[in-house]
A and B are shown apart, each in its own frame.
Chain A
Amino acid sequence: MAEEREPPPLGDVGQADFVEVEDGEDLFVSTVTTIEQLSPTTPEPSCLPAEDISTNSNGPKQEILLDDDQEDLFAEATEEVSLDSPEREPILSDGPSPAITPVTPTVIITPRAEASMFDRSLDEDEDTEENGDTFDMQITVSDPEKVGDGMNAYMAYKVTTKTSLNLFSRNEFSVKRRFSDFLGLHSKLASKYMHIGYIVPPAPEKSIVGMTKVKVGKEDLSSAEFVEKRRSALQRYLTRTVTHPALLKDPDVIQFLENTELPRAVSTQALSGAGILRMVNKAAEAVNKMTIKMNESDAWFEEKQQQFENLDIQLRKLHASVESLVCHRKELSVNTASFAKSAAMLGNSEDHTALSRALSQLAEVEEKIDQLHQEQAYADFYLFSELLGDYVRLIAAVKGVFDQRMKTWSKWQDAQLLLQRKREAETKLQYANKPDKLQQAKDEIKEWETKVQQGERDFEQISKNIRQEVGRFELIKYWEAFLPEAKAIA
C-alpha cells in the first residue's frame, strides 16, 4: 500500500512541490485581483503596512472600528503573502495593535503518501511557504491507540504540534486526544464564531458503525481503514483550523493543542441529550431558513450563494460517483484474485509443461493486477473521495455562514421594526402628555436605537467577514492526486 514518508526537513522539497508553488503564484495573482476588486487597497510589496487603514467598500457604513483594522490588516497581510510568495519569505507581521498579532502561520503537512494530497487546506493564502524553507506551524495526528475495552473503548490519537509561534509556550509538544475532544473543540468554535461570519472548518463526522467495529476489536481491514480515514481527517481538520488566523488565537484551540488533560466533551456523544437538542435545533433552523425572506441588497452575496449552491450539487454528485467507482474497484480486485487462483489451478492440471507454466504465470500476473487494483482503489478512496467529502462539508459550513448572515439581517430588521414601534409609541405618549411614561419611552427608544445600530453593525460585520472568508476559501490549491496512481501503473 502507500508508504509513509518522513516529514521532510526544512528546505527539503520534492520536485512536485516546486511545481505546486509555481501554480500557487498564479493562483495568488488571480486572487489578488479578486480581492482588489473588493477593497481598493494597494498592497505594498516591500513592507507591511504600519498603520494604514484602508477604506472598505464592503459594508454600507464606513465605521472604522478596531475590528475593522484587524480585518484590513488581515486582508493586506493576505496580499502581502501572496505577492511575496515567490521569494518565500516568512511573514511575521507586527501589526499596530499588538494585542493580537496577525500571524500568518504556514503549515507543512506531513507528506504521508496518501495524506499529503488532501492536506492542502482551503485557506492557503498563507501556505505558499509550505514547500519552502520556513514554516511556522505543523500539526500531525498520529498513533491511533485503542484505549479501554468493550463498549467504553475509544481511540486515542496523538496530536503533535511543532511551531515557532509566540502563542505557545513551547516549540514542540504533543498531547493525547480522542475523537470526542475534537468534536467538542469544533462545537465551541462554532458557537463562538459562526454568528460573526467566520467559516469554521467542519469536524469529521461521527460514525457509530465504524467505532463500534473498532470497539469490539475486529482486527480486520475495514476497521483499520476506518481508523486511518479518521486519523487523516482529524489531521486535516486541525490543520485547517489553525490556518485560520482568528481561530488559531482562540484560547480553546490553544488549550486543545497544549493541555495534557482536557475536560471530556460530553455533549458530543451521539445519543446524549445534547445531541438530540442539537438535532432539534438544526431542524428549527432549517424551518427558519425557509421562512426568512431576505431582501438581498448586495449582488455579490447573491451571486456567491448561487455559485456555492451549484458547486455543492456538482461536488456531491461527483463524490457519489467516485465512491461507487471505489466500490467497483474493490469488487474487481476481489474477482481478479479469485480468477488468479483458478488460473493457477488450471495451470497445475495442464499436461503440457509450457502451457502449464504460462498459465501459472498468468495467474501471477492477474494477482499482481489485483493488488494494483486494490491500491488504486485505496488511492482513489483516500485521495479523491475524502477530499470531495471534505469540500462538501465545507460548503455546508459556508452555507451555514450565509445562513447566519440572514439571521443577523433578520434580527436587525426586527430591531428596526421594534424601534419604529417604540417611536410611534413615544409620539403617542407625547400627545397624551404623560411625562413619566414619556421618559420611559424615551429610554426605551434610546435602548432600541442602540440595538438597531448594533444590529446593523453586526450585519455589516458579518457581511464583511463572509466576504473575506470566501476570499480565503477561494484560494484553493490543487494537488496532483494522480501522481501515486501513475507511479503505480508505471
Chain B
Amino acid sequence: CEVHSCISRDSHPRAVNVDLQTDATLQVDISDALSERDKVKFTVHTKSTLPNFKQNEFSVVRQHEEFIWLHDSFVENEDYAGFIIPPAPPRPDFDASREKLQKLGEGEGSMTKEEFTKMKQELEAEYLAIFKKTVAMHEVFLCRVAAHPVLRKDLNFHVFLEYNQDLSVRGKNKKEKLEDFFKNVVKSADGVIVAGVKDVDDFFEHEKTFLLEYHNRVKDASIKSDRMIRSHKSKLHIPFPHLFPHLFPHLFPHLFVRFFLKVSELFEKTRKIEARVAADEDLKLADLLKYYLRESQAAKDLLYRRGRALVDYENANKALDKARAKNKDVLQAETTQQVCCQKFEKISESAKQELIDFKTRRVAAFRKNLVELAELELKHAKGNLQLLQSCLAVLKGDT
C-alpha cells in the first residue's frame, strides 16, 4: 500500500548529528518530503544572498539518487582531495516497515479490531520515524556542504540547488556498479600500502592511527547499539492478552481479577514508555554512532588521499633523483615532482584543518546527543517509576 507522508518544516527535528553554524549567506534545508511507492521526493529549499543564484529563495525537488550524484562528484573532484567529503546519506529503506505493514494487512482477519488498529498505529508510527530520519540525514548532508567554505561554491552544488528540472541522474547500472566494486577493491589494497608508509608529520601519523582505531570502534559500537535497540523494540511486540473482567463476575471477587487486570494494563503502559525509550535511544545514540561511522570513514579517505599524494610525491622525488643522476628527462621529472609536491602540500594543509574541525564537530555532536539521551532516559525512567508507583498504590488500596 502506498503511504504518503508530508513533513512540514517545523515538525521534523533539525539534524541532530551535526552542530553547524547557520550562515545567512547560504541556508539549505529540506522543507518537505513525499514518500511514494519506492522513492522519496525531497523538497530542497534554499535561502541565499550569494550573487551566483538568480533568486534569493527557491526550492527544487530532488531524489536520493541526485544526492548520491552530488556526493560522488565531490569525491571524484581532484581539487577537493584535501577535504573530508561529507558522507552521503544512506538510501531510504522502508522495506522492513513496508513488509510489516503488509503482514499486518494479511493477518487482519486473525486479530480483534482493536488489536489490529493498535498494531497498525504502531507500524505507522515506525514508518513515520524512519521517514523523518531519512529526511534528516539528507538534510545534514546538504548543510555540511553548505557550511564548508570551499564546497559550498561548487558548481554542481549550485546546479543541484537551483536547477528545477530533473537532473536526469540515473542510478548506476550493473556495469557501473561492478566497476565501482573493483575500484573499491583496488583502493582498499592501495590504502593498505599507503597506510604502511610512515608519515613525516607527527600530527598526521597520530591522526592516522587514531582514526583507524576510532573507526573500528565506532563501527563496533554502532553494531552493538543497533542490536541493543532492536532487542528493546522486539520486546514490545509481545501481545498482552486483555483479561476480560466480565468473564469472572462471581468467581473472583474484586482482587484477583483486578490484580491481573491491573498488571496487564501496567504492562501495556510500560510498553508505550519503553517504545519511546527505544525510539529515543535510536535517535540519539544509534544515529550518532552511525553518522560518525560514516564521517570517520570519510576522514580516513582523506588521509588515504593524502597518503597517496605523499607516496606519489616521494616517488616523484626518487624519479627526479634518478633522472638527475642519469641526466635524462630532468625537466619532466622536475615538473612532475613540482606538481606532486604542490598537491601534497595543499592536501596536507587543508587536511590538517579539516581533521581538527572534524574533532571539534565530533565532540560537540557527541556531547549534545549524549546529554539529550541522558535527559530523555531520565524522563522516561521517572515516568515508568511513576506508573509503577501508581499501580502499586491502586493495588494496595484496592478494595
Contacts and interface: CB of A to CB of B under 8 A. Distances in A.
Contacts of B389: 486
A329 B235 contact: yes
A301 interface: no
A26 B392 contact: no
Contact of B221 (A318, A324, A342, A485): A342
Interface residues of A, number: 56
B19 to A, nearest CB: 14
Chain A contact residues: helix, strand, loop or mixed? helix
A474 B253 contact: yes
A476 B256 contact: yes
Interface string A470-485: 0000101110111101
B238 A332 contact: no
Interface in A294-315: 303-304, 307-308, 310-311, 314-315
A349 B255 contact: no
B217 A482 contact: no
Contacts of A349: 210, 213-214, 217
Interface stretch (A27-35, A248-256, A424-432): A27-35
Interface stretch (B21-29, B44-52, B258-266): B258-266
B362 to A, nearest CB: 8
Interface string A340-373: 0111011011111011001100100000000000
B221 A478 contact: no
Interface in B353-399: 359, 362-363, 366-367, 370, 381, 384-385, 388-389, 391-392, 395-399
Contacts of B392: 480, 482-483, 486
B220 interface: yes
Nearest to B235: A328
Contact of B385 (A23, A384, A489): A489
B359 A30 contact: no
A338 to B, nearest CB: 5
A324 B388 contact: no
A307 B388 contact: no
B219 to A, nearest CB: 9
A47 interface: no
Contacts of A482: 266, 388, 391-392
Contacts of A362: 370
Contacts of B370: 358-359, 362
Contacts of A342: 217, 220-221, 223-225
Contacts of A348: 217
Given A346-B221, A349-B210, A481-B263, 19 more contacts: A19-B396, A26-B254, A26-B399, A27-B253, A27-B255, A34-B250, A307-B248, A311-B247, A318-B240, A332-B231, A335-B231, A352-B363, A354-B363, A384-B263, A476-B256, A477-B255, A480-B396, A489-B385, A490-B385
15 contacts: A304-B251, A307-B250, A311-B248, A325-B267, A331-B234, A336-B228, A339-B224, A342-B221, A345-B221, A346-B221, A350-B214, A481-B263, A482-B266, A482-B388, A489-B381
Interface of B: 210, 213-214, 217-218, 220-221, 223-225, 227-228, 230-232, 234-235, 238-241, 243-244, 247-248, 250-256, 259-260, 263-264, 266-267, 359, 362-363, 366-367, 370, 381, 384-385, 388-389, 391-392, 395-399
